[in-house]
Structure 1
């Protein structure tokens, strides 16, 4: 049994050295912030975190959806994340495609010197998965799968972002409407106060007019009485005198 086990190990090492292609995946705890994912270019690609950190259930389910080939699974221990980081620091990769959805992103990177592709899935500045392969068709397929995953993973995040914006907009409209209502209430209070003042002034003016009307009537009656007296006296004074 020990001999067979050693033979298998030797055969596995030979396949790795001869084939020269493989993939690996590294899981890091995704950053749950809603900040949009950075462009995974040669000078500013995401940086991997500790591979031993546990991912949320949603992330774990999506990360297992892309089935690794036996060769890719064998390359997992080779540290593709660290290798990719070093190549990015040295600006050795070309960014062929990049997709963003919310804080999630997928990139298809190309190492021209060895005709090797690196397909990455990341959140914010954290590499989540890295698949290395020299098969162009395989690389394109994995990239499409990762891009689709970013849309699925970001769905709730995008919905939350929209709801936050809608709530903020609604709160702002409430504040503006309340301010308008307050100003209308103030205007109404001024109008009611002015209306009460005008009504009081109208009453006072009406009372004064009525009083003046009574005084006028009394004065006219008095005038008529005096005029009558004057006529009577005038008649008495001119009594017996010839009339022209």
Structure 2
């Protein structure tokens, strides 16, 4: 019996050892030993949503964004958008805009600068463009509607800032041209007045000469008239005297 007991005890010990080995093999993998299939699945999900695939660093936990990055302006580009912009979004939008499948949602103009929000419905993609004189300057491509609207507002505000000097120059040019026009009108008025004054002076000289000639003629006529009247009176006295002599001695009635 003692031999049988020893055999049973030995068999039980072997079973316990085998069970402990199985339990150790079934333990979960550490966090830094994730299966490759999980990363592949994450990458496939990111591609299906249009967002860049993000893989966690081995053994690293997700860290919150610093306050400066969390509060960054809407105009700051994400790494994916910066990569897209460098890859030729301008050329891509120029090709697409020739077709009829791109919808213009919003456009803002300030001077020669402008910002547009365009939508490509087939891929649910937004293009935000900053341009000058109908030439694209910057183009951001994104599938995030909220971010597209934020970038558009930033670009629209930027067009106002960029156009300030241009608008000021345009106004100053118009004011200068208007002032020059007033100068020309005033000069023309002055020239007309000068011409009128010259004519008036010339005419005044003519009139003065005519007045002198007329006055001289009037004086001469007055003298001639006085002489004629004197002559007439002398002749009348002579006639009266002759008449008296002819009728001398005759009754008066």
**Distance 1:186-1:136 versus aligned 2 partners, 3 A rule:** same
**Residue of structure 2 equivalent to 1:112:** 121
Q: Distance in 2 between matches of 1:68 and 1:177?
A: 57
| 1:20 maps onto 2:50 in alignment | yes
Give the alignment's TM-score, normalised by structure 1. Answer: 0.70
Q: Distance in 2 between matches of 1:241 and 1:188?
A: 77
- Which range moves more in the overlay, 195-204 or 176-185? 176-185
Residues 85 and 141, structure 2, Cα contact 8 Å, conserved in 1:
no
Matches within 5 A, 1:224-239: 224-239=233-248
Higher relative contact order by CA 8 Å / sep ≥ 6: 1 or 2? 1
Matches within 5 A, 1:77-156: 77-156=86-165
**Distance 1:77-1:209 versus aligned 2 partners, 3 A rule:** closer
Q: Distance in 2 between matches of 1:105 and 1:160?
A: 18
Residues 104 and 124, structure 1, Cα contact 8 Å, conserved in 2:
yes
Residues 85 and 139, structure 2, Cα contact 8 Å, conserved in 1:
no
| 1:206 maps onto 2:215 in alignment | yes
Q: CA deviation at 1:21?
A: 4.1
Structure 1 unaligned residues grouped into runs of 5+ = 1-9, 23-63
Matches within 5 A, 1:139-218: 139-218=148-227
* Alpha-carbon displacement from aligned partner over 1:36-68 (angstroms, at most 9, x marks no partner): xxxxxxxxxxxxxxxxxxxxxxxxxxxx99211
**Distance 1:193-1:65 versus aligned 2 partners, 3 A rule:** farther
* Alpha-carbon displacement from aligned partner over 1:190-211 (angstroms, at most 9, x marks no partner): 2221121112111111111111
Residue 89 of structure 1: SS of its match in structure 2?
coil
Q: CA deviation at 1:153?
A: 0.3
* Alpha-carbon displacement from aligned partner over 1:125-145 (angstroms, at most 9, x marks no partner): 322111111111111111011
Task: Detail structure 1 runs of 4+ shifted over 4 Å in the superposition.
Answer: 14-19
Give the alignment's TM-score, normalised by structure 2. Answer: 0.68
* Alpha-carbon displacement from aligned partner over 1:79-137 (angstroms, at most 9, x marks no partner): 22222222223333111011111111100000111111110111113221111111111
Aligned residues: 192
Q: Distance in 2 between matches of 1:20 and 1:70?
A: 14
Q: Distance in 2 between matches of 1:129 and 1:241?
A: 139
**Distance 1:126-1:228 versus aligned 2 partners, 3 A rule:** same
**Distance 1:65-1:201 versus aligned 2 partners, 3 A rule:** farther
Structure 2 unaligned residues grouped into runs of 5+ = 1-38, 53-72
Which has the greater radius of gyration?
Answer: 2
Residue 128 of structure 1: SS of its match in structure 2?
strand
- Which range moves more in the overlay, 79-88 or 220-229? 79-88
Matches within 5 A, 1:12-51: 14=43, 17=47, 20-21=50-51
